[in-house]
Copies of this chain bind each other. A is one copy, B any other.
């Protein structure tokens, strides 16, 4: 026998529905004995409150939205961080992927609202600012990137410092012709990493040469194409090192290097963003700026929960992304 209405429990325990509701949600308001009787009935029947009805009545659900731009391994780890933390706080996650498309993001946000979530964690696309209207009144935490929208909380890594450290290392090894591949500059991560790249160049007395810089879309094929453009030239014109500002594009760059028969680190050095087992097990292992990916997801969820409790003080979190030197970098 299954019981799925609070009223049935009430009948079983011989009390009114409100008392059952209280026993479940605010047990301190119910007399010990009554409560015990109710809980017995609840356990015996396996009853659980209907979340949908609760949500409608309370005008908010124990749910948060999570919008990611894609679901590659990096995002999966982010999602896991959010998910684990949400679960610990009795929150459920409704997942959307925007594919960085304005239309899909818009739709996701619109649908999400109709589910009355407590709040929203999102990797903003380049178009998020356009959707400010859809976010009105929602507590939102921007994860990984920031859209510039005001009122939003943010949880990011120290992109600029990470990129700077990586490029500094290349320069310390003696590289002067350093190629670079970034995401689109209107995305904050690309912008910040680009800035870190320039910081390191300036600091090392190396001129910024825009002919050695390419911009992709954070997906592997674009990294491959960009790397081919930079590397498939006469050995003299070729950069001696490459800084790729995102994991997927770095994979593309590795593939490009192979197809050109370039050996790491003999023919070229490489430094990338985001650590992974691929980067670690590669021969040679790839030097990377290691984002604390899982932690990022955890913190985003924690910030959301804090913001929900605290009110509107915006929280901005920056985690460090340490550079890890490995065998993919050698003197030119």
Interface residues of A in 236-272 (CB under 8 A from B): 251, 254-255, 258
Interface residues of A in 51-106 (CB under 8 A from B): 51-53, 55-56, 61, 63, 70-73, 75-77, 79-80, 83-84, 87, 92-97
- Interface flags for A273-293 (1: CB within 8 Å of B; 0: not) read 000111001110000000000
CA distance A203 to B80 in the complex (A): 42
User: A26 at interface (Cβ–Cβ under 8 A)?
Assistant: no
* Chain B contacts for A63, CB-based, 8 A: 94
User: A48 at interface (Cβ–Cβ under 8 A)?
Assistant: yes
| Cβ distance A117 to chain B, nearest Cβ, rounded Å | 10
Partner-binding segment picked from A108-116, A301-309, A320-328: A108-116
How many interface residues does A have (CB within 8 Å)?
49
26 A-B pairs whose Cβ atoms sit less than 8 Å apart in the complex: A2-B133, A2-B136, A46-B133, A46-B134, A48-B110, A49-B114, A50-B56, A50-B116, A51-B114, A51-B116, A52-B116, A56-B56, A70-B80, A71-B76, A71-B77, A71-B79, A75-B76, A79-B95, A83-B95, A83-B97, A87-B96, A87-B97, A94-B94, A254-B281, A277-B278, A283-B283
